[in-house]
Amino acid sequence: MMSDRYAVIGNPIGHTKSPLIHGFFAQETGQDMSYGAIEGPVEPASGFSDTVKSFIEAGGRGMNVTAPFKLAAFAMSDERSERAELSGAVNAMKFEDGRIIAENFDGVGLVRDIEVNLQRPIAGKRVLILGAGGAARGALLPFAAARPAELVVANRHVDKARALVEQAAVGGSITACGYADLESMGRFDLVVNATSASLTGQLPPVPASVFSASASAYELAYGKGLTPFLRLAREVGVQGIADGVGMLVEQAAEAFAWWRGVRPQTRALIDRLTVPLD
């Protein structure tokens, strides 16, 4: 019997940690599976879905999806979870009885990292999310489910933040604003950088006044060291700063549990993959 086949698909895919992570999980839980990395074609437009279909025909059971295919994966799926639906993006697929079932575990992975690994409960806290792109969209429902006292989404283009908040319609106190509005919005317990600014070494125009004395600052990017956002947080005295390594491992653990029905341990792997911030 061949092992059950899984893979991550993206472009480029050379630096992916997914095969390492899932290989580690498989070993730890004693699951008979293989997990590869596939560079999906960007052209022609049907290249992505053709590659996924070939993988399914060859017996593939599931895939993780990374940039730039999260929207294409959404479009080709037959069934989607609510959080995949809201984020408009898919990061995990399961192939069952000829159907493609789609999920997005990025947000749950993030919330789990913050609450369980970093021991910062979100319930009753004031939470600020910077950015209203794909990453912020994925995080919104899981954050709302964790019952913060207040959830604020700030974006350069305020309309985009507003549309996101309206679409979420999950009740509770969720508001959208621009960066300048943050000056008068008081201090937050948790500030999450879900913009793509760090990828180009930029700082979102967030005022230092948003950080409370006991705030946590969380950078979604992984392995970028002390980004301008984390540097700002540290400069104003924030003690709890973290990057996205825990989120990376936790979203993988969610997908693994969804595929295999067994939840792997994550602590040792997070420690192993942690790149010191400075």
Buried residues in 74-102 as b, exposed as e (16+ CB within 10 A): bebbeebbebbebbbbbbbbbbeeeebbb
Here the tokens at position 109 are 């992975």
d(CA 161, CA 154): 6
Q: What is the largest CA-CA distance in the chain?
A: 63
Is 174 near ligand ATR (CB under 6 A)? no
CA distances for 264 relative to 9, 59, 153, 185, angstroms: 22, 24, 32, 40
Binding mask 129-148 for ligand ATR (x = CB under 6 A): --xxxxxx------------
Hey, which residues does 242 pair with through a beta bridge?
Answer: 218
Number of residues forming the site for ligand ATR (CB under 6 A) = 15
Among 157, 263, 267, 272, binds ligand ATR (CB under 6 A): 157
At its nearest, how many Å lie between ligand ATR and the CB of residue 165? 13
3-state SS, residue 140: helix
User: Which residue is catalytic, options 53, 70, 94, 125?
Assistant: 70
Does 70 participate in catalysis according to the annotation?
A: yes
Nearer to ligand ATR by C-beta: 201 or 276?
A: 201
Nearer to ligand ATR by C-beta: 136 or 232?
A: 136
Is 68 near ligand ATR (CB under 6 A)? no
Q: 191 to 210, contacts with ligand ATR by CB under 6 A?
A: 195-197, 202, 204
In the annotated binding site for shikimate, the residues are 16-18, 66, 91, 106, 222, 251
3-state SS, residue 116: helix
Residues forming contacts to ligand ATR in the complex (CB under 6 A) are 131-136, 155-157, 160, 195-197, 202, 204
Residues that are catalytic: 70
